[in-house]
Amino acid sequence: MKALILAAGKGTRMKSRMPKVLHKLSGKPMIEWVIETAGKVAQRVGVVLGFGAKQVKEHLPRWVDVFIQERQLGTAHAVMCARKFLDPDDDVIILYGDVPLISDSTLKRMVEEHKKGADVTILVADAENPSGYGRVIENEGRYKIIEDADLPEDLRSIRTINTGFYIFSGRFLLEMLPKIKNDNAKGEYYLTDAVNFAENVRIVKTTDLLEITGVNTRKTLVWLEEQLRKRKIEELLENGVTILDPNTTYIHYSAEIGVDTVIHPMTFIEGKTKIGDGCEIGPMSRIVDCEVGNNVKIVRSECFRSVIEDNVSVGPFARLREGTVLKKSSKIGNFVEIKRSTIGEGTKAQHLSYIGDAHVGKDVNIGAGTITCNYDGKKKNPTFIEDRAFIGSNTSLVAPVRIGEGALIGAGSVITQNVPPHSLGLGRARQIVKEGWVLKRKEE
């Protein structure tokens, strides 16, 4: 089985500088949705590109075959541009770059039906409002598709629509393509004409309107986004996740969440985020592409491309940037920013810190206001803090620098040299006390 995705159209009504199929749905470009689904049922996937082909190509996996349709002369013409992809001895599924939610289960049903022997298998649906769609008309066991623009008045009320998804026998399609003409209302080469030439047509019906909805406007895109969001939340609720306020919770379809995790209001869980069991997430948190273990607490925080192990507590008001690894039972508190650093098991950084490019060991205490000075104006330098070290409050660790195991840094220090294990590091001005000095000044 092959799959050919038509995606050459400009998408004028999106009023965008970007090709339509790159617009994102639930965090992922529409074309990626289709390619992923196609890859589940077909051995090879081809894409027909036109408008913005170069830009779209950059988003495609290498294993996809790309064909170019310079001018959009119709769906049959688009398939014609990928003639080399077609094989007389193989079947081909036709899909669309702007119909992102087609499901692999429906495609598999079509494959099963098609195997029973057909020139073409069509996916149809019953639409509330069929206008704009081609209608599928049955007549004594033969099927015909008539485009909306070419539909005679007495057939307008037919509600069975052509979703545009088909499986063709490769041989049949290759024979029919050269015969298709553009003598219709739109002056286009219609792929539906190939269907109309077929003697042996099979029909599969879907009742899921989301999977056949094509995106032509931003309004439709946002509608799909909302439907998908609701569907995801329902799925999670059914699978043991508590979502306290579905109205203010945004969870990308690709995210995974374990049982007995509670999602508090105003929370965003995005990308390929995976959250374990028994966690408390939110309120007001945003978690993007993170791997989160079990029994983790994240309150009012922003987490991006980080790994958060079991029993960790984050926030309120923490910011984890890319490359952060929080080992088991560590605690990251308010106004702490961490970037490309590993924080060891049981380590605490509870208040007002910046930790960047650092390797922090186990059971370390990072005092309030500790800053790793990782940037010297030219390059980023690493900081090493070994197990059980104690960093006093308001310390600047000027990297590159190493604080040895069990070492103690006095509060307010500016540390520019390594501190050996179990040693005291102190780097600040000595305090002066002048007794009675204030009283004396008043007398003057």
Provide the minimum distance between the beta carbon of 111 and ligand UD1 in the complex, in angstroms, as a whole number. 20
- Kindly tell me which of 214 and 400 has the beta carbon lying closer to Ca ion: 214
Count of CB atoms situated within 10 Å of the CB of 341: 25
**Structure token pair of residue 105:** 């289960």
Q: Which of 294, 229, 221 is closest to 255 using CA atoms?
A: 229
CA atoms within 13 A on the CB side of 233: 23
Q: Which does 73 bind (CB under 5 to 8 A by kind): ligand UD1, Ca ion, none?
A: ligand UD1
Contact code string over 145-184 relative to ligand UD1, x by CB under 6 A: x-x-------------xxxx--------------------
The interface with ligand UD1 within residues 115-134 (CB under 6 A) comprises 133-134
One of 33, 67, 85, 96 touching ligand UD1 (CB under 6 A):
96
Provide the minimum distance between the beta carbon of 208 and ligand UD1 in the complex, in angstroms, as a whole number. 15
φ, ψ for residue 79 (rounded to 5)?
-65, -40
Q: Which does 75 bind (CB under 5 to 8 A by kind): ligand UD1, Ca ion, none?
A: ligand UD1
Q: Is 48 in the site for ligand UD1 (CB under 6 A)?
A: yes
CB burial class (10 A; 0-12, 13-18, 19+) of residue 73?
Answer: middle
**Separation of CA 417 from chain center:** 44
One of 97, 100, 315, 369 touching ligand UD1 (CB under 6 A):
97
One of 2, 3, 4, 8 touching ligand UD1 (CB under 6 A):
8
Active site residues per annotation = 351
Separation between Cα atoms, residue 221 and residue 225, nearest integer Å: 6
Contact code string over 212-241 relative to Ca ion, x by CB under 5 A: --x---------------------------
Q: Which does 8 bind (CB under 5 to 8 A by kind): ligand UD1, Ca ion, none?
A: ligand UD1
Options 95-103, 249-257, 328-336, 395-403: segment touching ligand UD1 (CB under 6 A): 95-103
Tell me which H or E stretch contains 313: strand 313-314
**At what angle are helices 104-115 and 30-41 packed, to 10 degrees?**
40
**Cα distances (angstroms) measured from residue 121 to each of 60, 111, 141, 228, 302:** 27, 8, 14, 27, 48
CB 96 within 8 A of CB 75: no
Q: Which of 408, 368, 372, 402 is closest to 388 using CA atoms?
A: 408
- Kindly tell me which of 6 and 14 has the beta carbon lying closer to ligand UD1: 6
Q: Which does 383 bind (CB under 5 to 8 A by kind): Ca ion, ligand UD1, none?
A: none
CB 2 within 8 A of CB 107: no
**Structure token pair of residue 263:** 């999602």
Q: Is 72 in the site for Ca ion (CB under 5 A)?
A: no
Provide the minimum distance between the beta carbon of 97 and ligand UD1 in the complex, in angstroms, as a whole number. 6
Q: Which residues bind ligand UD1 (CB under 6 A)?
A: 6-9, 48, 69, 72-75, 77-78, 96-98, 133-134, 145, 147, 161-164, 190-192, 214
Tell me which residues touch Ca ion (CB under 5 A): 214
